[in-house]
Structure 1
Amino acid sequence: PLQLDCNLCAIVSNSGQMVGQKVGNEIDQSSCIWRMNNAPTKGYEEDVGRMTMIRVVSHTSVPLLLKNPDYFFKEANATIYVIWGPFRNMRKDGNGIVYNMLKKTVDIYPNAQIYVTTEKRMSYCDGVFKKETGKDR
């Protein structure tokens, strides 16, 4: 299991709301910097910072990462990827389309740190989402 020790976290969305805010240096001071999906840093460093420790990625965004694999998974990249999605896409029996993509990625980039949420954890997250929003994910 993934274990982190963070004193101060920055969670940076990929909605474009940070553009023009010039908080990149402040974000980079955090011990853990979380980014979502394929949100870029290159070209936006002044606004969103340069560093990424953890990137939480939806199963639907995995193909977007794989369009630029060297940027996301190259040897020098120490980012931890946490991928989430429904069991049908994440299953490990050869029938999980997203899981299969990730497995090929790890074969090409063996130092990539990719974690996949378990079915149990996804169920828990779905419950929290429904409790907080009143909606099914």
Structure 2
Amino acid sequence: MFTTSNDMKNTAERFVIAMVIFILATLLIIYNSTSGNGSVNYKGHFVYSVLSPAPANLKKWVTKDGYIPVSGNKTVNLRCGLCALITSSSHLLGSKIGSEIDATECTIRMNDAPTTGYERDVGNKTTLRVVAHSSVYRVMRKPQEFLNRSQETVMIFWGPPQKMQNRRGSTYRLIHRVGSAFPNLSTYIVAPKRMQQFDDLFRRETGRDRKKSHSWLSTGWFTMVIAIELCDSVHVYGMVPPSHCRKPQHKRMPYHYYEPKSPDECMIFIGNERAKKGNHHRFITEKDVFAQWAKLYNIVFTHPSW
């Protein structure tokens, strides 16, 4: 059987086409395996891959116009050596570390987490409280707990600019009522430009756009960044590591230490991480980032220890 020149030409063309397809497929596989913008499913958890290189120096982010004073023209001039960042986790119950926390130079708390009745485990001293717009109402319901204590000197409120800057809105009016009623407190609102920086940081560290990935940043995210800015070192109490809820036999724990009937923390963490519709906190993703920051900014985690 003889092979014609046309047959040889067709064979060569098919070989070239096959090689091109092979090379393109190989490049596609390599790209998908190395892309920093991808997400992976880890034992049912929606986990974002963390970008390298290392993040920008967060301590240089402090700007005079990043936090808007509720009244007057003050600036956030709080600076501390060692800070205690106390979470709202029920892991702190029974820890008996209240006196250790109160002995820290500066203590940072979040939202409406109380100290009254829990002093033995979480302490009583508060230097800074970071409050989400959604928690303003709960804070105002108990002003004796959160607002009129002499040692609580600074409050920073964060939220969508349209809520925080709307002078006719109820959130805006409540925050300004706090600033007017308790002049001993220094109260601030996170500026719109600063809010965008928090979003940009999330995208840089996770490779995901917050809005496109249907995410809400948590108060923990804001508080951790602010603590890094203001403190030489940070001791975090009560925050579980990112791998905690992946353990098959993790103990059921209420989400808040002051709400014993609140849902299990891992149910909340995993549910938010997996959700793809609506807007949800990505708690586990944020903790992955915090673990990276710990190597850069003198952060220590205890109760539990990481």
| Structure-2-length-normalised TM-score | 0.42
Distance 1:75 1:43 in 2: 15
The one of 91, 114, 134 aligned to 2:187: 114
Deviation at 1:26, TM superposition (A): 1.2
Report what 1:85 is aligned to. Answer: 159
Distance 1:128 1:11 in 2: 20
Deviation at 1:75, TM superposition (A): 6.0
Report what 1:33 is aligned to. Answer: 107
Distance 1:97 1:88 in 2: 12
Letter in 2 for 1:42: T
Deviation at 1:4, TM superposition (A): 1.7
TM-aligned CA distance change 1:116 to 1:23, over 3 Å: same
Distance 1:53 1:130 in 2: 30
Deviation at 1:112, TM superposition (A): 2.5
CA offsets per residue over residues 17-64 of structure 1, 9 Å max, x none?
Answer: 211111111111211100010111111111111101000101101100
Deviation at 1:96, TM superposition (A): 3.9
Report what 2:205 is aligned to. Answer: 132
Secondary structure, aligned partner of 1:17: helix
The one of 76, 90, 99 aligned to 1:2: 76
Root-mean-square deviation (Å): 1.8
Report what 1:61 is aligned to. Answer: 135
Report what 1:20 is aligned to. Answer: 94
Deviation at 1:82, TM superposition (A): 0.7
TM-aligned CA distance change 1:75 to 1:35, over 3 Å: closer
The one of 120, 123, 138 aligned to 1:49: 123
Letter in 2 for 1:114: T
Distance 1:58 1:85 in 2: 6
CA offsets per residue over residues 72-131 of structure 1, 9 Å max, x none?
Answer: 22263533101101101100x523432211112222223222111100111111222333
Give identity over the alignment, percent. 38
Aligned residues: 136
RCO higher in structure (CA 8 A, sep ≥6) = 2
Secondary structure, aligned partner of 2:152: coil
The more displaced of 73-82 and 26-35 is: 73-82
Letter in 1 for 2:185: A
Which has the larger Rg?
2
TM-aligned CA distance change 1:15 to 1:3, over 3 Å: same
Secondary structure, aligned partner of 2:81: coil
Contact 1:23 1:47 (8 Å CA) reproduced: yes
Distance 1:28 1:121 in 2: 30
Note the residue ranges of structure 1 that are not aligned, 5 or more in a row: none
Contact 2:126 2:151 (8 Å CA) reproduced: no
Contact 1:75 1:109 (8 Å CA) reproduced: no
| Structure-1-length-normalised TM-score | 0.88
Distance 2:205 2:83 in 1: 22
Letter in 2 for 1:82: I
The one of 79, 83, 99 aligned to 2:172: 99
